[in-house]
Amino acid sequence: MNALAATSRNFKNAARILGLDAKIEKSLLIPFREIKVECTIPKDDGSLVSYVGFRVQHDNARGPMKGGIRYHPEVDPDEVNALAQLMTWKTAVADIPYGGAKGGIGCTPRDLSMSELERLTRVFTQKIHDLIGIHTDVPAPDMGTNAQTMAWILDEYSKFHGHSPAVVTGKPIDLGGSLGREAATGRGVVFGTEALLAEYGKSCKGLTFVIQGFGNVGSWAAKLIHEKGGKVIAVSDITGAVKNPNGLDIIELVKHKESTGSLLNFSGGDNMDPNEILIHECDVLIPSALGGVLNRENASSVRAKFIVEAANHPTDPEADEILSKKGVIILPDIYANAGGVTVSYFEWVQNIQGFMWEEEKVNNELQRYMTRAFHNIKSMCKTYDCNLRMGAFTLGVNRVARATNLRGWEA
Ligand code: NAD
């Protein structure tokens, strides 16, 4: 099942549980605006190349639309659509005053030079600058993009609209970025995991963790779990996978990855088959790379007790059912990875106020938001006798439905 069908199915289940009327259900499902643009740039060798860029703005009932921009060869309109919808529910679950959006460019960033990436980002911004903005749609980094990408968007957007740091979040600190933003999604994953484990009388200390993806989210989650005494026993990324049953030294692994460009051949562990990562025995599995990685082919072989969805949409609905029957507890993406957008919100607030917070304040506020959202989700689970995914969906959908109704229906 593709990401859009899966997300819409979760939404429809939540709408049914909440007893939403057909009018509001229809209005919440249809995206506000879908943008598709052709971005043609000269390559460094002088030849021309074209990439397709997308931005889907899903809903703005609760505030400006918010969501990442990813650079990945598999970006397609359906997936961007699903991810934009997920952002609407995610911002509502986190209770930050935003709607949802998502964008992407179908490209392989590793195959582009820095100057080609800069040209591509600037052309994309030129094509969408009238449709994004501080109070309309605020992009952020996602897979394959980073603070530098946001700096280019800020610069290009500001040529048209004047200096506008709040138009993107996840910026470099020198351009108005927030302290703590780079680590925020991974840190939020860990705060969410701690809130979940506390329900079972456990903490990270002494538990075993397996992490798929060692980019921004996966590597920060790994570092923070390691700091808290959790044992990260296996990690993978696009270059391969490594394991150590006694726990990998994450600080050394980060250094190894930085110096060799790969996880493989780490002196503090053994190489392993990356296809085994999701079925490696552990207490907590944290998929932090791509969507749809847990599916009907591998779900029954998963040996984790808990799955924390740091990636967006890593579990397809068939896998969800199989895993539920096996008793695996899943902390859903629309909550688990909401730390990034929450600190993006803090960054936007700081830009609008023109006042910078200390990192400690950012991290403390993030913990407060993540813990509060977890308890709000649990309360929905209790009210509607449902699992954490439906608890999160009913919480988010209900908040957006209330805002939509309050704003009224007259054209
Ligand atoms: P990133 O580009 O920094 O890292 C992605 C990682 O996934 C890399 O380590 C890459 O090597 C790995 N990867 C790619 N293909 C893989 C494969 N086939 N097998 C194993 N590993 C593979 O991206 P990120 O920002 O860390 O985002 C990761 C996930 O988290 C995405 O699903 C993204 O949508 C989600 N997310 C990110 C943020 C954020 O703030 N960065 C916020 C919310 C959700």
Q: Is 142 in the pocket of ligand 1 (CB under 6 A)?
A: yes
Average pLDDT over residues 54-63: 97
The whole-angstrom separation of Cα 94 and Cα 99 is 11
Centre of ligand 1 from the C-alpha of residue 312, in Å:
9
So what's the pLDDT on residue 3?
A: 76
Q: Say how many Å lie between the first and final Cα of the chain, rounded.
A: 35
Reported confidence tier of residue 7, pLDDT bands at 50, 70, 90 = confident
Which residue, judged by its Cα, is nearest atom 28 of ligand 1? 289
336: confidence class by pLDDT, cuts 50, 70, 90: very high
287 falls in which pLDDT band (50, 70, 90)? very high
pTM: 0.94
Concerning whether 325 is annotated as a catalytic residue, the answer is: no
CA 353 / ligand 1 centre spacing (Å): 31
pLDDT at 295: 95
Residue 411, pLDDT > 80, answer no
The atom of ligand 1 lying closest to the CA of 289 is 7
| 410 — pLDDT class (breaks 50, 70, 90) | confident
Q: Which of 66-80, 97-111, 253-267, 371-385 has the lowest mean pLDDT?
A: 66-80
pLDDT of residue 33: 97
Give the distance (Å) from ligand 1 centre to CA of residue 139. Answer: 17
Q: What is the pLDDT of residue 74?
A: 87
Residue 373 has pLDDT above 80, yes or no: yes
Mean pLDDT of the chain: 96
Judge whether residue 49 has pLDDT over 80.
Answer: yes
pLDDT at 5 exceeding the cut of 90: no
288 lines ligand 1 (CB under 6 A): yes
186 CB within 6 A, ligand 1:
no
Determine the distance separating the centroid of ligand 1 and the alpha carbon of 316, expressed in angstroms: 17
The share of the chain scoring above pLDDT 90, in percent, equals: 93
> Mean per-residue pLDDT for 117-124?
98
Q: Determine which residue's CA is closest to atom 42 belonging to ligand 1.
A: 340
Q: Is 376's C-beta closer than 6 angstroms to any atom of ligand 1?
A: no
Kindly give the distance from the C-alpha atom of residue 62 to the centroid of ligand 1, in angstroms, as a whole number: 27
Q: Which domains does the chain have, with CATH numbers?
A: 32-164 (3.40.50.10860), 179-351+358-411 (3.40.50.720)
Instruction: Tell me the per-residue pLDDT of 173-229, one tens digit each, with 9 for 90 and over.
Output: 999 999 999 899 999 999 999 999 999 999 999 999 999 999 999 999 999 999 999
Ligand 1 pocket check for 314: Cβ under 6 Å: no
309 alpha carbon to ligand 1 midpoint, in Å?
11
The confidence band for 76, taking pLDDT boundaries of 50, 70 and 90, is confident
Atom of ligand 1 nearest to the CA of 214: 9
Tell which atom from ligand 1 comes closest to the C-alpha of 145. 2
Nearest CA to ligand 1 atom 34: 312
Residue nearest to atom 35 of ligand 1 (CA): 311
Mean pLDDT value of segment 287-316: 95
How high is the pLDDT of residue 282?
Answer: 98
> Considering 66, 102, 171, 231, which one is annotated as catalytic?
102
pLDDT tens sequence across 238-271: 999 999 999 999 999 999 999 999 999 999 999 9
Q: Whose CA is nearest to atom 18 of ligand 1?
A: 238
315 lines ligand 1 (CB under 6 A): no
pLDDT at residue 318 is higher than 80: yes
Q: Which residue has the higher pLDDT, 3 or 76?
A: 76
Is residue 32 over pLDDT 90?
Answer: yes
- How many Å lie between the centroid of ligand 1 and the Cα of residue 43? 26
Q: What is the mean pLDDT of residues 34-53?
A: 97
- Ligand 1: atom nearest CA of 241 is 20
Q: What does the pLDDT read at residue 79? A: 85
